[in-house]
Amino acid sequence: MSAGGGTRAIIAAFLANLGIAAAKFVGFLLTSSSSLLAESIHSLADTGNQALLLLGRKRARKEADEAHAFGYGRERFFWAFVVALVLFTLGSLFAVYEGISKIRHPEPITSAPIAIGLLLVAVVLEGYSLRTALGEARALRRGQSVFGFIRSSKNPELPVVLLEDMGAGIGLGIALAALVLAWKVDPVYDGYGTLLIGLLLGVIAVVLAIEMKSLLIGEAASTEDVAGIRRAAESSGSVTRVIHLRTEHIGPEQILVAMKVAFSPGLDVAQLATAIDDVEAAIRVAVPGAVLVYIEPDLYREVPEP
């Protein structure tokens, strides 16, 4: 994903969530619905989360220095992890607390038709944000399902936006149903809706935290990229075998490659240096994300079978 494309998806989500938060909060003021208050906090948290993602992208562009020799690419993973924490603490825990409180002490709903209209406006805005994110992700999914893309993507921003938008859509459905039931049947349904929204946000936050934790610890390149690196190295006429290959993402689009390679016997020092340079160049052509490539010449020794 290009930087511009990722930024467009985040900005679209930021603007949509800002408008949605305002609409939901007005609805809460009119109805005193805890479901709408929970959804207002949810959208407010999402708006802040988009700002954190933009901050992460900006900080990740800092040049490498002595303290961070491999650069700051993992800043994007860190701020996406912070998003999960914000979503859990500000969104989920508040909604669960508010839901339990309103189940114990339900309050009547007022001005429900106006609030329903505002929620429908929020549905339209959320649909715009989700459509933008799906459009940005389409070129990267390579036939994967949306959830498969979220699980396997090394880019933190689009999975975060997709999960938040899908969660927001489900939350809006819950809020609408709870509002109508609380208005027409029993006010206690407003509390149940708020509690369900809190649990939904908690699940999304946990999924995000797990995925970002894996990236923060350090994930290898995709199977396709590893295979491309190996093919590029072995295609060199001076390489007889790739003995050992390790990769790690030091940023969403930056891969560190470390490998031991057996070269043709008889090469002198100058020829070996040229051969290593050729292999590095071939790897970068095959996998442009391989920005750091370290190749150690070695001898391959057959291990005798027992």
Report pLDDT digits (tens) over 77-93: 999 888 888 878 777 88
Predicted model pTM: 0.77
Report pLDDT for 110. 78
Residues of the chain with confidence (pLDDT) below 50 = 1-5, 305
- Reading across the β-sheet that carries 290-297, which strands appear in turn? 239-251, 254-263, 290-297
Report pLDDT digits (tens) over 177-230: 998 998 899 999 989 998 998 899 889 888 888 888 888 888 999 899 999 999
Domains of the chain in start order, with CATH, are 3-217 (1.20.1510.10), 223-297 (3.30.70.1350)
Report pLDDT for 280. 95
Report pLDDT for 181. 93
Strand partners, 262: 241
Q: How does 36-53 read in b/e, with b if 16+ C-beta sit within 10 Å?
A: bbbbbbbbbbbbbbbebb
